[in-house]
Amino acid sequence: MNTLSDMARGGSYLIDLLTFFLTSAGYYKIFEKCGVKQIYALIPFVRDYQIGRCADREDDGKELAVLAAFLAVVYFPMQFLQYNNKLLIIVMIPYIALQIARLMLHIRVYLGLIKVFEKKKLWLLGFLFIEGPVCILWGFSDKFMPNKKVQNFSDQGGARETGAVVDTMEDGLTVNIDKRTAVEFFRRKTLLKDIHLSIPKGHMVLLLGGSGAGKTTFVNAVTGYEKADAKIELGTRDVYEEYGQMMYDIGFVPQQDLMRGNDTVMLTLSDAATLRLPSSVSFIERKKRIDEVLDQFGLAAVKNNLVEKLSGGQRKRLSIAMEFISDPTLFILDEPDSGLDGVVARGLFEKLRAIADEGKIVVVITHTPDRVIDLFDDVIVLAKDSTRTGRLAYYGPVSEAYDFFGKKSMEEILLSVNQKDEGGEGKADEFVGKYADRINGKVG
């Protein structure tokens, strides 16, 4: 009986191995047709991601690759559980659920591939039940050709570069980012490059850019949270080299706050002071700083209230106060007006304007800049160029930005640099190049 079982298992393994080789050969030719490196067809899990790209379903391909790798890792340990039926049943339930999820992703990817190759959906049955032979047919037959190829973006080409490194501004922030790259699913991508600018103290700056333009990457590089191939200086101090000390001089307020609702305002600020102020600060100095911040942000009257009882505007001010407790020179905020109505948002931005007027550098990301644009000094416009790399399309006074782009509002400026497939005008390369020419003209 065991012999028959072993033979059946051996036959199953042989069929799986044959299917793998047939599918690999088919993928090899399909990848060639779609403009993907053919060697990926021979690498398990990697090819799941690449076939997703061929199917114009890259996100599904990513999930499929991760899920396939995870299932492969847990498969072999499960073989040792076959003599423990209870434990095997417990493990098999989530395993089967993940297999079903994998099947659904396969269906989505293959339906995408069928659409790209402009074939009937009936082919899905072939991919599911005789995958190897179908992949061979699709790969080697000239009757099966995609209507588009995968876009393989690199950091070569794209809009012109400035090549202009900014000199250190002793009384401000100096940013010289040559490049910021990251490896994402077996591909090295350039997220940002050629970002050179300096912001004087006392300036409030709008950071403008569409989805994927590099706003978060820029902020992370400037704050030292994710280092780039760059030199970031606050005054004459290097943020990267002196990060341990500089972190107290840089404040960042994320879009979502991390406050506990059942803590009081005073306790929340006290905890923030413990974390944000250097250990050398005495208890009396810490208490004095907390009281100053409470008054500055109009929270003294509610200092004993629970966070969960605060209004939306009060909660935002508390979130900002937590980072401002260390009295940072550079203050960066990600959508501080999110969820606030116009009047409350206006009041919040007026607080930020007052902070900048104290000699701080305030950089703000907001999706509704036009309602408070009069409070800003300058604007940084980031845009994805034709290589899908975040580039500097403009940096300078708000008043000059309108003439530079030939637009009447920040929203119109953003639409002009957004890609056409995002509903924009697709002029990113044009304005990145125009700004490069402008900088090179100034540099002489």
Domains of the chain: 2-140 (no CATH), 172-443 (3.40.50.300)
- Residue 173: HSE in the Cβ half-sphere, 13 Å Cα cutoff: 28
Say if CB 27 and CB 139 are below 8 A apart: yes
Is 82 a residue whose pLDDT tops 80? no
Could you read off the pLDDT of 291-313 as tens digits, one per residue?
888 888 888 888 888 888 888 88
Could you read off the pLDDT of 261-280 as tens digits, one per residue?
888 888 988 888 888 787 78
pLDDT band of residue 112 (cuts 50, 70, 90) is very high
Coil vs helix vs strand at 389: coil
pLDDT of residue 89: 67
Q: What is the mean pLDDT of the chain?
A: 86
Question: Do the bridges between strand 172-184 and strand 229-234 make them parallel or antiparallel, or are there none, so unpaired?
Answer: antiparallel
d(CA 285, CA 287): 5
With a pLDDT cut of 70, the percent of the chain lying above it is 90
Side chain identity at residue 437, one-letter code: D
pLDDT of residue 326: 85
Is 69 a residue whose pLDDT tops 60? yes
Could you read off the pLDDT of 352-389 as tens digits, one per residue?
999 999 999 999 999 889 999 999 999 999 999 988 89
pLDDT of residue 63: 92
pLDDT band of residue 160 (cuts 50, 70, 90) is confident
The DSSP call for residue 196 is E
The 10 Å Cβ neighbour count of residue 33 is 17
pLDDT of residue 265: 86
Tell me the two tokens of residue 119.
Answer: 């074939």
pLDDT of residue 322: 86
pLDDT band of residue 342 (cuts 50, 70, 90) is confident
Q: Specify the pTM.
A: 0.75
Q: Where is pLDDT greater, at 15 or 54? A: 54
Burial of 319 (0-12, 13-18, 19+ CB in 10 A): buried
Is 174 a residue whose pLDDT tops 90? yes
d(CA 115, CA 91): 37
Could you read off the pLDDT of 115-143 as tens digits, one per residue?
999 999 999 999 999 999 999 999 999 99
Side chain identity at residue 186, one-letter code: F
Is 4 a residue whose pLDDT tops 50? no
